[in-house]
Amino acid sequence: MTGTDREFYYNTETGQVEEGKVSDWTGRMGPYPSREAAEHALDQAKARTRAWDEEDERRR
């Protein structure tokens, strides 16, 4: 991989960021364009879930 081709993943089982598809897909979130983005994978997922829940509430 070169420069912009690098992909980072968040491993939900270890809590670690991995470069490339190191772990099994069942415990991997991503890809993310940077290590920093992958480090915040759970925060991003929580924010999206909260937004979807709020949208569901508005539609009821």
Instruction: Tell me the pLDDT tens digit for each residue of 35-60.
Output: 999 999 999 999 999 999 999 999 99
Give the other-Cβ count within 10 Å of 45's Cβ.
Answer: 13
Q: Count the neighbouring beta carbons within 10 Å of the beta carbon of residue 51.
A: 10
Q: What is the DSSP letter of 6?
A: -
Strands (DSSP E) found in the chain: 8-11, 17-19, 28-32
Confidence (pTM): 0.78
Does 3 have pLDDT greater than 80?
no
